[in-house]
Amino acid sequence: MRFRATQLVPRRAKERLRGVVRREVALAQPPSETIVEVREVIEQVRALDPDQVLAAPYVAAVTVVPEPEATDQAFPRFAPQLDQATEFPVPPKHLWTVAEQFLESGQRDAERMLDVTRRAGLELDAGTRVLDLGCGPARVLRWLPPSIDGWGVDLNAERIAWCQAFLSPPFRFATCGTYPHLPFGDATFDLVYAGSVFTHIAELADSWLLELLRLTVPGGLLYLTVHDQSSIEFCRSIDPSSHTRALTGFAQPDATEQRFRQWSDRLGTDLDGFTIGRGYYAQVFYDRDSIVRHWARYAEVVDVVPEAFAWHQTAVLLRRRADDADWR
Ligand SMILES: C[S@@+](CC[C@H](N)C(=O)[O-])C[C@H]1O[C@@H](n2cnc3c(N)ncnc32)[C@H](O)[C@@H]1O
């Protein structure tokens, strides 16, 4: 899929420009050097190749949109593809986040998550506030009880458009960017989960964790999945040309395969983690003990469950400490 970077001009620069323009207009003076300077920055940013911008480590905000080359933006109307076996329709294949078994894998991952959160004392019932970060086409969210107050957000606008068309109500959806800020108030959700999302957040991962903690009620839960030694072992055990391996992207061309082996051999010794690739398609791997130790700095670690989520990912269950409300 091709994509386009939007909102490339940092807000502060825009505000500064607007402020200067207003002042200049008010004083009826010619454009100052500051305006020229800010305009130059905007021109430079506009001239960048979106793929390069996505790969840049500290990009401000990017949303993946369906029709990048078009001058205007059309919001697609999806034709229903009803599946008799389920209440909700199945999304078109190009929106899937798995190569096969879209329904079965989603149900399995949802049930495993519910087992883990139940063990930690959270029962999802009417009104429980739940956020799915990086929900994709709601492969997992669709299996949660429809009576919850469930939200899904993703930076892939086409997936969100599909979810809005077919799964809302009962759930609600919004697009977000790569910048770690979501449009919800402090302490909004009882459960926040991100299935196979920290597996792609190569930069600003700590800030995303802090943002998710901000949104979680004190005492509430976060269920986050990561690639670690389990995914690596699985990846190494299968044929490099297999479909799954191609899908997960961590070993396609020989050069990538080689890098993957070199990095993963060092995991847990001199490396806490590594990424294969950068930007939207980055695959992020952590040493399990290191990431658990690291996240324990920010929240209570309640459970660590290997092989809990698609593609042999480990789930880490965190609880926002009840006494950290001063953060807000
Ligand atoms: C591998 S898919 C997993 C989707 C879904 N959670 C599932 O289990 O099927 C990763 C999803 O996370 C989204 N994503 C990646 N980084 C994100 C970010 N920083 N914020 C929101 N969504 C993100 C991608 O657009 C993609 O839909």
Can you give the residue ranges of every domain in the chain?
11-55, 93-228+281-327
Nearest protein CA to atom 2 of ligand 1, as residue: 97
Average pLDDT over residues 32-45: 68
**Ligand 1 center from residue 115 Cα (angstroms):** 22
What confidence score (pLDDT) does residue 3 get? Answer: 37
pLDDT of residue 33: 65
Which ligand 1 atom is at minimum distance from the Cα of 132?
6
The closest residue, in CA terms, to atom 3 on ligand 1 is 196
Q: How far apart are CA 44 and CA 9, in angstroms?
A: 10
Average pLDDT over residues 67-83: 69
Any residues with Cβ below 6 Å from ligand 1, and which?
A: 97, 133-136, 139-140, 154-156, 159, 176, 178, 195-197, 200-201
CA 132 to ligand 1 centroid distance, Å: 9
Query: What integer best gives the mean pLDDT of the chain?
Result: 83
Give the Å distance between the CA of 302 and the centre of ligand 1. 24
pLDDT band at 284 (very low <50, low <70, confident <90, very high): very high
For residues 325 and 328, give the distance between their C-alpha atoms in angstroms, rounded to a whole number: 6
**pLDDT band for position 2 (50/70/90)?**
very low
Q: Once rounded to an integer, what is the mean pLDDT over residues 66-91?
A: 70
Helices 11-27 and 33-47: crossing angle, nearest 10°?
140
Q: What is the enclosing helix (H) or strand (E) of 305?
A: strand 300-309
CATH of domain 93-228+281-327: 3.40.50.150
Tell me how far the alpha carbon of residue 297 lies from the centroid of ligand 1, in angstroms: 24
- Give yes or no for a contact between 50 and 3, defined as CB atoms under 8 angstroms apart: yes
Considering only CA atoms, which of 251, 220, 219 is closest in space to residue 233?
A: 251
- The torsion angles phi and psi of 162, rounded to 5 degrees, stand at -65, -45
State the closest ligand 1 atom to the C-alpha of 98, by its place in the atom list counted from 1.
9
Mean pLDDT across the stretch 108-119? 98
